[in-house]
């Protein structure tokens, strides 16, 4: 069972990784856009948004490995862990070969589907195949990350993630500053996938010595067990890909590659903000699995309430900054040409992101309890509504319509489904869950939201340092209200630390 100190360490190192993943794109994105140009950057985003769908061939294997290995590890059934891991690796190798075959077909039709200039056909097609190779390698090596997550070594995963972010950014800057284009960027992604996978494999063997030995053949009983869990998880992944990656494709198909740049700037900001919560919530899945194995329902209920509060208190201040001051930030960060359009798109998308964050803890707990089958149905419904509305509204109101399609679908699903379902899992009513978990966090952030609104109306920022200095003046507001929200928890924790000292 993971200790409280391990949990805190995992979360803190995850946040360091999250900080790296936020800061690196912050400095890299303007550099990339200005070196590639709007059109070529839009094509690069479309390539990534299209190839990312090959991750759907994961078929829920990563989540299955995390759940089954976490359970076997806690029960010291290391032979069962080996069978699960060997089976998953062989399956991933076969999936990798399939991805390479399909990437050739995608490369053939991609330039025609998105009206790519004929002069770029060969370059774009080669970049697609190489990028797909990176996805295939990441899937094969991804089993090692799942093993580390199962044994609660998120600190090691995050350390590798920090190195990956820095290495990726350094390579991109070096390549683009010397005039290299899409193919070189794709090759660098492949190199990073190999390096990261090799390091994680070494860490797995060091931390879980019982796994040493030859790679066994696929165990068909284990295949069936993994499939029973992973099939639903893979459909949820499909829905997630539609929700978070199809928008760029819809924009590119109906409005052109240049418009993708404006949409991607807003979407990337929202994704970076969600990383703050992901650094915390990703630790909940194996923890919930362990608590469930020990029949500790009350602790699961506490995990849901406290985890949801923490997720919202982390995300809501960021969302307030982006909602009220996003136009100013984007103008200073990317250039004034992007401020109005990307800022408005970001405001619309935040409606969905806030509610998704409110339910992310419940989602991770559901995965940990292997109760994700109903999630699959709702996720597919949300994805279908999202895609339909995005296409219809894109024809009527352009790029903003794509954002509204995503926001409307997300609001409906997150309000109607999640509070009821997660309440059933941990035996708490939806009203009590929302009252204890949602509203305290919302109330704690209201004063900070008012301060952000006031600053945007009355203060002018002429540079990014001045912008961040203005935010620094009001950050103590949310820190104080959050401290009041968790005053009992903080007091108890400090007493424990003094006792241990």
Q: What is the DSSP string of 56-112?
A: GGGTTHHHHHHHHHHHHHHTT-HHHHHHHHHHHHHHHHHHHHHHHHHHHHHHHHHHH
| pLDDT top residue among 326 and 252 | 326
pLDDT band at 347 (very low <50, low <70, confident <90, very high): very high
Picking from 13-17, 261-265, 462-466, which range would have the lowest pLDDT averaged per residue? Answer: 13-17
Q: Which of 274, 240, 272, 243 is nearest to 403 (CA)?
A: 243
Whether residue 501 has pLDDT greater than 60: no
- pLDDT of 341 strictly over 80: yes
User: Rounded CA gap, 184 and 171, in Å?
Assistant: 10
Q: Say what the pLDDT of residue 486 is.
A: 67
> 37 or 285, which is more confident?
37
Residues 43-63 as b or e (16 or more Cβ within 10 Å = b):
bbbbbbbbbbbbbbbbbbbbb
> How confident is the model over 307-323, as a mean pLDDT?
88
Q: What is the mean pLDDT of residues 430-450?
A: 88
Q: Which residues, at least 6 apart from 413, have a Cβ–Cβ distance to it below 8 Å?
A: 378, 379, 381, 382
Pick from 255-269, 325-339, 466-480: least confident: 255-269
Q: Are the C-beta atoms of residues 73 and 151 closer than 8 Å to each other? A: yes
pLDDT of 215 reads 60
How far is the C-alpha of 24 from the C-alpha of 14, rounded, in Å? 15
Q: Residue 295 and residue 272: Cα distance in Å, rounded?
A: 35
Q: Which two tokens stand for residue 202?
A: 């070494």
Maximum average pLDDT range among 166-175, 204-213, 216-225, 256-265: 166-175
User: Tell me, what's the pLDDT at 499?
Assistant: 45
Looking at residue 454, its pLDDT comes to 94
CA distance 286 to 209: 20
pLDDT at 404: 94
- Start-to-end CA span in the chain (Å): 23
Of 97-101, 258-262, 496-500, where does mean pLDDT reach its minimum?
496-500
Per-residue pLDDT band for 107 (boundaries 50, 70, 90) equals very high
Contacts of 37 (CB under 8 A, 6+ apart): none
- Higher pLDDT, residue 377 or 97: 97
User: Does 321 score more than 90 pLDDT?
Assistant: yes
Residue 497's pLDDT band (cuts 50, 70, 90): very low
> Which residue stretches of 334-426 are H helix?
336-368, 373-397, 399-416, 418-426
Q: What pLDDT, on the 0 to 100 scale, is given for residue 284?
A: 74
**Length of the chain measured in residues:** 501
| CA 440 – CA 426 distance, rounded (Å) | 20
- Residue 387: predicted pLDDT: 87
Q: What is the pLDDT of residues 353-407, one digit of tens each?
A: 888 888 888 888 887 777 767 777 777 888 888 889 999 999 889 899 999 998 9
How confident is the model at residue 102, as a pLDDT? 92
Residue 26 has pLDDT above 80, yes or no: no
Count of Cβ atoms closer than 10 Å to residue 175 Cβ = 17
**Higher confidence at residue 245 or residue 204?**
204
Task: Report the pLDDT value the prediction gives residue 241, as an integer from 0 to 100.
Answer: 67
- What's the pLDDT band for 488 if we cut at 50, 70, 90? low
- Burial of residue 75, with CB atoms counted within 10 A of its CB: 0-12 exposed, 13-18 middle, 19 or more buried: exposed
Mean pLDDT for the chain?
82
Cα dihedral: 419, 423, 425, 428 (round 10): 170
Please provide residue 171's backbone torsions phi and psi, each rounded to the nearest 5 degrees: -65, -40
**pLDDT tens string 200-242:** 888 888 888 777 665 667 677 777 777 776 666 666 766 766 6
Residue 496 above 50 pLDDT? no
Q: Is the per-residue pLDDT at 500 higher than 70?
A: no
């Amino acid at each position: 069972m993971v200790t409280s100190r391990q949990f805190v360490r995992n979360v803190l190192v995850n946040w360091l990784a999250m900080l790296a993943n936020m800061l690196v794109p912050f400095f890299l994105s303007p550099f990339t856009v200005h070196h590639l140009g709007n059109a070529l950057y839009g094509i690069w985003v479309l390539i990534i948004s299209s190839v990312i769908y090959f991750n759907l061939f994961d078929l829920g294997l990563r989540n299955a490995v995390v759940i089954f290995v976490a359970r076997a590890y806690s029960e010291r059934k290391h032979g069962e862990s080996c069978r699960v891991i060997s089976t998953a690796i062989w399956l991933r190798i076969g999936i990798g070969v399939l991805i390479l075959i399909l990437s050739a077909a995608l490369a053939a039709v991609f330039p025609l589907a998105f009206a790519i200039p004929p002069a770029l056909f060969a370059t774009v097609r080669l970049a697609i195949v190489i990028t797909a190779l990176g996805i295939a390698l990441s899937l094969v090596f991804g089993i090692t990350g799942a093993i580390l997550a199962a044994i609660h070594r998120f600190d090691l995963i995050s350390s590798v993630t920090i190195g990956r972010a820095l290495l990726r950014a350094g390579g991109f800057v070096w390549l683009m500053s010397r005039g290299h284009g899409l193919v070189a960027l794709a090759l660098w992604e492949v190199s990073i996938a190999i390096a990261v996978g090799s390091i994680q494999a070494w860490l797995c063997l060091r931390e879980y010595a019982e796994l040493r030995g030859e790679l066994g053949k696929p165990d068909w009983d284990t295949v069936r067990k993994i499939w029973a869990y992973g099939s639903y998880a893979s459909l949820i992944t499909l829905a997630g890909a539609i929700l978070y990656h199809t928008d760029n494709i819809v924009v590119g198909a109906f409005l052109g590659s240049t418009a993708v740049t404006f949409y991607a700037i807003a979407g990337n900001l929202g994704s970076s903000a969600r990383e703050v919560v992901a650094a915390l919530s990703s630790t909940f899945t194996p923890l919930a699995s362990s608590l469930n194995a020990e029949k500790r329902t009350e602790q699961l209920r506490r995990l849901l309430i406290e985890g949801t509060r923490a997720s919202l208190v982390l995300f809501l201040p960021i969302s307030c900054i982006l909602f009220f001051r996003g136009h100013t930030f984007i103008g200073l960060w990317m250039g004034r040409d992007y401020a109005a359009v990307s800022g408005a798109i970001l405001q619309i998308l935040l409606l969905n992101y806030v509610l998704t964050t409110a339910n992310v803890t419940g989602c991770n707990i559901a995965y940990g309890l292997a109760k994700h089958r109903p999630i699959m149905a709702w996720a597919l419904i949300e994805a279908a509504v999202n895609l339909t509305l995005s296409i219809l509204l894109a024809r009527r109101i352009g790029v903003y319509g794509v954002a509204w399609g995503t926001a409307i679908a997300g609001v409906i699903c997150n309000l109607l489904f999640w509070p009821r379902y997660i309440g059933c899992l941990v035996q708490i009513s939806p009203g009590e869950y929302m009252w204890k978990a949602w509203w305290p966090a919302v109330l704690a952030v209201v004063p900070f939201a008012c301060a952000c609104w006031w600053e945007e109306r009355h203060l002018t920022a002429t540079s990014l340092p001045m912008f961040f200095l203005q935010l620094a003046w009001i950050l103590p507001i949310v820190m104080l209200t959050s401290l009041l929200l968790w005053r009992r928890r903080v007091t108890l924790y400090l007493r424990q630390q003094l006792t241990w000292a």
